[in-house]
Amino acid sequence: MNKVVIFGGLGNQMFQFALAIAMDSIGKPTKISVNDYILHEHYQGFELIKAFDIPICFDDRFRVIYVSKFLRPLLVHSKLNWFKKIAKNVFRFSDKIYYEKDEFCFDEQVYQLDNCYLIGGWKSTLYFDSHKSLIQEVFNFKKPVDDVNLSISRKIQSCNSVAVHIRRGNYSDPSQNQNRVLLDETDYYKNAFQYINEHVSNPVFYIFSDDPEWVRTNIKGDNVFYVSHNTGANSYLDMYLMSICKHFIIANSSFSWWPAWLSKNENKIVVSPDTWEAKCPNRTVYPEGWKVVPVSSQDIEFIEV
């Protein structure tokens, strides 16, 4: 039995869970391990069961749920080093550990593994492209029930909507992401908007960002709408709204990669940056058919769509 370790934000969790689905589908029984969330803070925590109605086969499920519910605040925030050392021993990995060699490159050896903890991002589409229909069915978002999101979803589906994701947040902090490319400091979005305008009739751009103030100041147009109300535990609803758009301008982020990949619009246009990280080529992170736009440094102060 293999176990895929789940960590990071929702988009990363989806890549990891997709690998588990793919391995299970080829006869390699696989569970997921969420023990990492017991000792560390990761964005909004374990989000898969919050965003989707999916059956989860946990590794040591009862132990994880019990500690998450009653002891996790102590484990995460405790200043008692001895307490954390005991906890780490309780939740240590007991099987072999296989670390991903390259986050953006397909590793065929993974399919030969048994009784391993698999630790990595698993961002190559080659891991799960052949299981796309199944994964699209599994990643079926829980639909919003509030009036604001329902209203926006109806508008999105009634026009040539284009989801635009602009990730700044921790990307703009060099101390946290030295290898990340901050796309808003390049000509990527300017060229992406131009490409969509040339290939989509009457596009309507829905802007999603973790820095709404920045996008309202720097990206303007009569056909631009800003979506900024889904925060904290409801952030996954932004991913849902993006997924029902007809076309996409994604960031170098799994949070917008997944809505574009999950979209069932056969005529969708997906514009993506040719650089995900400064020191790492994309390799197989993008499926065939996506429009990959070169990223070059340029001081862009304002974009008129």
| Alpha carbons 295 and 16: distance in angstroms, whole number | 27
Exposure string of 14-32, with b = 16+ CB inside 10 Å and e = fewer, is bbbbbbbbbbbeeebebbb
Looking up tokens 């023990």 gives 35
Give pLDDT tens digits for 74-93. 545 555 554 445 445 544 55
Most confident of 18-27, 71-80, 113-122, 154-163: 154-163
Give pLDDT tens digits for 233-262. 899 999 999 999 999 999 999 999 999 999
pLDDT at 305 exceeding the cut of 90: no
pLDDT at 182 exceeding the cut of 90: no
Which residues in the chain belong to E strands, given as ranges?
2-5, 30-33, 96-99, 116-119, 160-166, 203-209, 219-220, 224-227, 247-249, 270-273, 275-277, 280-281, 291-293, 303-304
Q: What is the pTM of this model?
A: 0.85
Domains of the chain: 2-138 (no CATH), 147-304 (3.40.50)
Q: Which residues lie across from 96 on neighbouring strands?
A: 116
Q: Which residues lie across from 225 on neighbouring strands?
A: 206
| Alpha carbons 40 and 46: distance in angstroms, whole number | 11
